Amino acid sequence: MIRDWTVEELHTASQVIKTEGHLGYEEFCDQLNKTIFSAFCKDADNNLIKISGPYSRKEELEKQLQEHFCHLKVITVLSEEDIVFIKEALG
């Protein structure tokens, strides 16, 4: 039988899940709304570096790069959908 959970039940379950080291309900829902973005950068030796992660917007990844990887030159930031589209167009 299926039933809707109350807000209190979801909160309690979420807290139990978090104590086990997993994402709570709120964090899980937040992750569902994110897209994998990849930044393609070059370091001082001209090596190409790819940095990927889940973000709501590409600007979030760009901000993280500026704050933590300011020594890298960002070439572009693409979503996984962008990368698939480019691969299909080239292939």
pLDDT at 85 over 70: yes
**What DSSP state is assigned to residue 5?**
P
Same domain for 54 and 24 = no
Tell me, yes or no, if the pTM score tops 0.75. no
Same domain for 28 and 5 = yes
Its domain, for residue 20, covers 1-33
Q: Which SS3 state, helix, strand or coil, does residue 43 take?
A: coil
Same domain for 80 and 41 = yes
Residues in the chain: 91
Supply the pLDDT for residue 1.
60
Q: What is the mean pLDDT of residues 39-63?
A: 93
Q: CA dist 14 to 9, 21, 30, Å? A: 8, 11, 13
Same domain for 58 and 16 = no
